[in-house]
Chains A and B, each alone.
Chain A
Amino acid sequence: MNLGHVIRRYSLVVFVVAVGVVLFGVFYLTPMVFLLRTSFWQYSSTSGSTRYMIPVPTLENYAEVLTGAYLNYSIMTIRIGLVCTIAALILSYPLAYWFAKYNGHAKLKRIVLMTLIASFLVGTIARVFAWYSMLTGTGFVAAVLSLFGVGEVHFIGTEFAIELCQVQYLMSIATLSLISPLRNVDPRLEEASKSLGAEEIRTFINVTLPLSLPGVVAASLLCFAVSVSAFVTPMVLGAGGILMVSNLVYTYYLDIMNYPLGSAFAVILLLFSFFSMYVLEKALLSRVRT
Chain B
Amino acid sequence: MSRLASLLGKIIVWGTVVTTLVYLWTPLAIDLVMSLEPGNVLRFPTTGVSLRWYEFFFSNPAFRNCMIVTFSLATIAAIAAVLLAIPCSLAFVRYNFPGKGALSSLFTAPLATPAVVLGVSLLFFLMITIGLSFTSLVIGHLLLTFPYALRTITATMFGFDRSLEEASASLGANTIQTFRRITMPIIAPGIVASFIFGVAVSLDDVGASVFLVTPQIMTLNVQLLAYWRWALDPTVGAASVFLILIGVALTLIADRIVGLERFLF
**Is B one of A's binding partners?**
yes
Q: Which residues of chain A have a CB within 8 Å of any CB of chain B?
A: 4, 8-9, 12-13, 15-17, 19-20, 23-24, 27-32, 34-35, 38, 51, 91, 94-95, 97-98, 102, 108, 110-127, 129-134, 136, 138-140, 142-143, 168, 171-173, 175-177, 179-180, 199-201, 204, 225, 228-229, 231-232, 235-236, 246, 249-250, 253-254, 259, 262-263, 266, 269-270, 273-274, 277-278
Contacts of A263 in B (CB 8 A): 120, 124
Residue B123 at the chain A interface, CB threshold 8 Å: yes
Closest A residue to B41 by CB, please name it.
Answer: A138
Closest A residue to B99 by CB, please name it.
Answer: A17
Distance between Cα atoms of A174 and B224 in the complex (Å)? 28
Distance between Cα atoms of A35 and B9 in the complex (Å)? 50
Beyond A112-B17, A136-B42, A177-B265, list 8 extra A-B contacts (CB 8 Å). Answer: A12-B94, A16-B88, A20-B107, A115-B21, A125-B240, A171-B23, A173-B265, A201-B9
Q: Which residues of chain B have a CB within 8 Å of any CB of chain A?
A: 2, 5-6, 8-9, 12-17, 19-21, 23-28, 30-31, 34-35, 41-45, 84, 87-88, 90-92, 94-95, 97, 99, 103, 106-107, 109-118, 120-125, 127-128, 139, 142-143, 146, 174-175, 200, 203-204, 206-207, 210-211, 221, 224-225, 228, 234, 236-237, 239-241, 243-244, 246-248, 250-251, 254-255, 260-261, 263-265
- B20 touching A31, Cβ below 8 Å: no
Distance between Cα atoms of A131 and B23 in the complex (Å)? 11
Closest B residue to A240 by CB, please name it.
Answer: B229
Q: Which secondary structure dominates where chain A touches chain B?
A: helix
Contacts of A116 in B (CB 8 A): 20, 24
Distance between Cα atoms of A171 and B94 in the complex (Å)? 35
- A139 touching B43, Cβ below 8 Å: yes
Q: Given the interface contacts A133-B30, A134-B30, does A12 sit within 8 Å of B121 by beta carbon?
A: no
Q: Given the interface contacts A28-B143, A253-B120, does A115 sit within 8 Å of B20 by beta carbon?
A: yes
28 A-B residue pairs with CB within 8 Å:
A8-B175, A12-B95, A13-B91, A17-B103, A23-B146, A27-B125, A30-B125, A32-B121, A35-B121, A91-B23, A115-B20, A116-B24, A122-B243, A122-B247, A123-B204, A124-B221, A126-B28, A134-B27, A136-B42, A139-B30, A168-B27, A199-B2, A201-B8, A204-B9, A229-B115, A231-B116, A236-B228, A250-B211
A124: contacting residue among B9, B15, B24, B204, CB under 8 A? B204
B13: contacting residue among A9, A94, A133, A180, CB under 8 A? A94
B4 to chain A, nearest CB (A): 10
What are the 6 tightest A-B residue pairs by CB atom distance, in nearest-first order?
A: A229-B114, A122-B247, A31-B121, A31-B125, A126-B243, A130-B31
Contacts of B31 in A (CB 8 A): 126, 129-130, 133-134
- B113 touching A270, Cβ below 8 Å: yes
Contacts of B84 in A (CB 8 A): 19, 23
Contacts of B228 in A (CB 8 A): 129, 236
- A94 touching B16, Cβ below 8 Å: yes
Distance between Cα atoms of A108 and B264 in the complex (Å)? 17
Contacts of B21 in A (CB 8 A): 111-112, 115
- B87 touching A16, Cβ below 8 Å: yes
Q: Given the interface contacts A23-B84, A122-B243, A129-B228, does A140 sit within 8 Å of B30 by beta carbon?
A: yes
- B120 touching A262, Cβ below 8 Å: yes
Contacts of A113 in B (CB 8 A): 260-261
A117: contacting residue among B34, B110, B236, B254, CB under 8 A? B254
A237 to chain B, nearest CB (A): 11
- B95 touching A94, Cβ below 8 Å: no
Contacts of B19 in A (CB 8 A): 91
